[in-house]
Structure formats: structure tokens, C-alpha cells
Structure 1
Amino acid sequence: MKPKVAVVMGSESDREVMKKAVEQLEALGISCETFVASAHRTPERAVGIAQEAEERGFKVII
């Protein structure tokens, strides 16, 4: 089984920058999910993503 990757961005405007990373993961057959969570504006959400990552099956966080 290939790893599942969480791609975390600080803001919605980062989505275009991370698009290539997501495309590359998908090309390699690696499952990924994107999240928007600013460590400065929404620290609780960012921490929550990290804390729940393993139980949600994520092996890598970018």
C-alpha cells in the first residue's frame, strides 16, 4: 500500500503553488488530500490536522 499524504497550505492563495506537488503525487499513484490551515490565523486547525494525521491514514505531511 502506498502512503497517503496530507498537503497543508497556509492560505487558499497557496493552492496554485502546491498544484504541481499534488499533480506529481497523483502521477505516482500516491493518494493525497489538501488542507488550508494557517499556523498563525488558525493554529487550532493546523494542530488538529497534525494530531489526527496518523489515525486518518496519513504517513506524510507536506
Structure 2
Amino acid sequence: MKEFHCGTLVPGCDWHTRHEEEAEIMRRAVEHMRIDHGETVIRETMIDAIRSRIEKRRDAA
């Protein structure tokens, strides 16, 4: 399982998502940036910043 916390990129934002596939996390994160943060253009630097903040989550047994 992988996880992205928007607050690591946008201080104060509590939104987060998790999924098995990094591509789905990226899709959700970009959608969140557009809707909740008003980003109309998602540049490659933003994609790189999101990708670098995706972490593997160790699930509790």
C-alpha cells in the first residue's frame, strides 16, 4: 500500500489518499490539487513533487 499526504506539499492541508498503485495516487492527487487548491496547470515539477512524497505504508498485521 502507498500513501500521499498533501500537507507534505501544501502546509496545513489534511487531505490524504492511499492505494496499491502509484498511478492512482497520482491521479487522485492531481484532481485534489485542481479542485481544492485551484491549480489550473499541473506542471512537471508538481508531478515530481507529488511523486517524491508518496510513501510505502506498512499495514498493521
TM-score range, shorter chain: 0.3 to 0.5
More strand by share: 1
TM-score between both structures, scaled by the size of structure 2:
0.32
TM-score between both structures, scaled by the size of structure 1:
0.32
